[in-house]
């Protein structure tokens, strides 16, 4: 037992969140990077006296995410950069048929 009342789970949650932020590919915006590193510290103060179930869930989720990122890094040699797929510029089939019919009518 510690001589001072210390809630260890919020500290562990903050540490795992910071570690996950460092492992995750970041955006190029420096202001967003600063905010993402400041958020775990803010959560430490907000969640320090919260029930432990929420903190335990969050810490476990962060630990599993860190493990997943580490496994991805060892399997592929690098953490893949996640980007949204580019939309195709191709028209749907029905629209192509309409355009072909209009061209035929004009000629």
59-70 b/e (C-beta count within 10 Å ≥ 16 → b): beebeebbeebe
Question: Model-level pTM greater than 0.85?
Answer: no
Residues 6 or more apart whose Cβ sits within 8 Å of residue 76 = none
pLDDT in tens, 46-101: 888 888 888 888 899 999 998 988 888 787 766 555 555 565 566 667 777 777 88
What does the alpha-carbon distance between residue 79 and residue 28 come to, in Å, rounded to a whole number?
Answer: 16
All structural domains of the chain with their residue ranges: 8-83
Transcribe 17-73 into DSSP letters.
Answer: HHHHHHHSPPPS-HHHHHHHHHHHHHHHHHHTTS-HHHHHHHHHHHHHHHHHHHHHH
């Amino acid at each position: 037992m510690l001589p001072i009342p210390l809630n260890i789970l919020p500290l562990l949650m903050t540490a795992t969140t910071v570690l996950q932020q460092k492992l995750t590919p970041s955006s190029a915006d420096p202001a967003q990077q600063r905010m993402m590193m400041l958020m775990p510290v803010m959560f430490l103060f907000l969640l320090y006296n919260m029930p432990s179930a929420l903190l335990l869930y969050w810490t476990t989720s962060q630990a599993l995410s860190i493990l997943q990122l580490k496994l991805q890094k060892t399997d592929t040699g690098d953490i893949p950069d996640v980007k949204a797929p580019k939309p195709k510029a191709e028209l749907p089939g029905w629209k192509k048929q309409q355009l072909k019919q209009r061209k035929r009518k004009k000629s």
